């Protein structure tokens, strides 16, 4: 009887010990599961070297890899399309069998140039029909009216930046419309344009590097010299030394 009790007690103790071992192993597994190893990113960000990299340096503002001052900047859309759609431009496009034309609601001679001429100049940057035609043709026809010089000259400080925006545009057709408008303006205002030429010649000199624009830009510069006089030649040569005067 003692042997059987001892053997039974040994079996119970073994079972109890086994259950204890299972509890310990399961608790150990739970500890392993709940313990999260430190991530590499946290160890990297906590290092002094990573902190120095994350903190911007003053020289980063001057680094051309960070800021490209010569890159194309985002441009806001012009208000011309909205104004035209709301009837703010006193002319409409008339589709012809051969070519289009503008129909003015009233004679252009009696229309105020401010702000109509500036609004039409803003429309030169449009790239969709009919805005492209209306702005280009409207600008041209408005400058042909009697008394145009007296009306256009006071607007030059506000008009020149708008024309420059067309001349620096990445779209080739927009640039061509801006160049044509500049020549038309020089015919009307003459030497009064000379004080604003420097603001426009920089963009023209950059486009001269493109072979397809060399001839039209050279022709435009000759028109600027022709209508601006000898003073315009000095300004043109200061910005575009390779320009050859029409007097040569």
**56 band by pLDDT with thresholds 50, 70 and 90:** low
79 and 119 Cβ atoms separated by less than 8 Å: yes
**Residue that has been written with the tokens 């205002």 in this structure:** 189
Confidence check: pLDDT of 100 > 80 = yes
Residue 191 lies in a domain: yes
State mean pLDDT over 134-149. Answer: 97
pLDDT at 47: 55
Phi and psi for 171 in degrees, rounded to 5? Answer: -80, 125
Q: Computed over its alpha carbons, how large is the radius of gyration of the chain?
A: 38
Residue with more model confidence, 94 or 42: 94
What is the domain count for the chain?
1
Which residue, among 162, 176, 180, has the nearest Cα to 207 in the 3D structure? 176
pLDDT at 213: 96
pLDDT at 34: 46
159 and 118 Cβ atoms separated by less than 8 Å: yes
122 and 163 Cβ atoms separated by less than 8 Å: no
Range of the structural domain that residue 113 is part of: 81-239
Query: Could you give the CA distance from residue 120 to residue 130 in angstroms, rounded to a whole number?
Result: 13
| Structure confidence by residue, pLDDT tens digits, 143-166 | 999 999 999 999 999 999 999 999
115: preceding bond cis by omega (within 30 degrees): yes
pLDDT at 61: 45
Residue 96: give its domain's CATH number. 1.25.10.10
**17 band by pLDDT with thresholds 50, 70 and 90:** very low
Query: Could you give the CA distance from residue 56 to residue 38 in angstroms, rounded to a whole number?
Result: 26
| Structure confidence by residue, pLDDT tens digits, 190-214 | 999 999 999 999 999 999 999 999 9
**Residue that has been written with the tokens 């946290």 in this structure:** 42
- 0.85 exceeded by the pTM? no
Q: How far is CA 154 from CA 7, 118, 143, 150, 159, in A?
A: 118, 12, 14, 7, 9
12-26, 116-130, 218-232, range with the lowest pLDDT: 12-26
Residue with more model confidence, 204 or 41: 204
High-pLDDT (> 90) share of the chain, %: 63
Confidence check: pLDDT of 14 > 50 = no
Which residue, among 113, 184, 115, has the nearest Cα to 150 in the 3D structure? 113
Residue 16 lies in a domain: no
**248 band by pLDDT with thresholds 50, 70 and 90:** low
**138 band by pLDDT with thresholds 50, 70 and 90:** very high
State mean pLDDT over 30-48. Answer: 47
pLDDT at 97: 75
Confidence check: pLDDT of 108 > 50 = yes
Residue 226 lies in a domain: yes
Residue 221 lies in a domain: yes
Residue 192 lies in a domain: yes
**Measured CA angle at 239 (ends 233, 241), to 5 deg:** 75
| N-term to C-term CA, the chain | 136
Residues 6+ apart with CB under 8 A from 141: 102, 104, 108
Q: Where are the alpha helices (DSSP H) in 168-229?
A: 172-189, 197-207, 211-228
110 and 149 Cβ atoms separated by less than 8 Å: no
Residue 3 lies in a domain: no
139 and 182 Cβ atoms separated by less than 8 Å: no
Residue 42 lies in a domain: no
State mean pLDDT over 107-123. Answer: 96
Residue 50 lies in a domain: no
């Amino acid at each position: 009887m003692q042997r059987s009790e001892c053997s039974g007690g040994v079996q119970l103790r073994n079972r109890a010990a086994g259950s204890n071992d299972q509890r310990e192993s399961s608790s150990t597994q739970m500890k392993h599961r709940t313990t999260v190893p430190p991530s590499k990113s946290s160890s990297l960000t906590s290092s002094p070297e990573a902190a120095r990299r994350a903190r911007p340096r003053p020289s980063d503002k001057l680094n051309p890899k960070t800021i490209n001052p010569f890159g194309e900047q985002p441009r806001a859309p012009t208000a011309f399309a909205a104004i035209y759609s709301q009837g703010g431009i006193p002319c409409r496009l008339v589709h012809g069998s051969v070519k289009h034309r503008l129909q003015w609601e009233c004679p252009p001679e009696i229309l105020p140039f401010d702000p109509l001429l500036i609004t039409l100049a803003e429309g030169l940057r449009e790239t969709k029909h009919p805005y492209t035609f209306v702005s280009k043709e409207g600008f041209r026809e408005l400058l042909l009216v009697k008394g145009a010089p007296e009306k256009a000259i006071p607007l030059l400080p506000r008009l020149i930046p708008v024309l420059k925006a067309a001349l620096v545009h990445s779209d080739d057709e927009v640039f061509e419309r801006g160049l044509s408008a500049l020549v038309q303006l020089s015919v009307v205002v003459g030497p009064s344009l000379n004080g604003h030429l420097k603001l426009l010649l920089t963009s023209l000199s950059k486009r001269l590097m493109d072979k397809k624009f060399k001839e039209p830009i050279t022709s435009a510069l000759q028109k600027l010299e022709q209508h601006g006089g000898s003073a315009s030649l000095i300004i043109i040569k200061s910005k575009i030394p390779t320009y050859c005067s029409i007097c040569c």
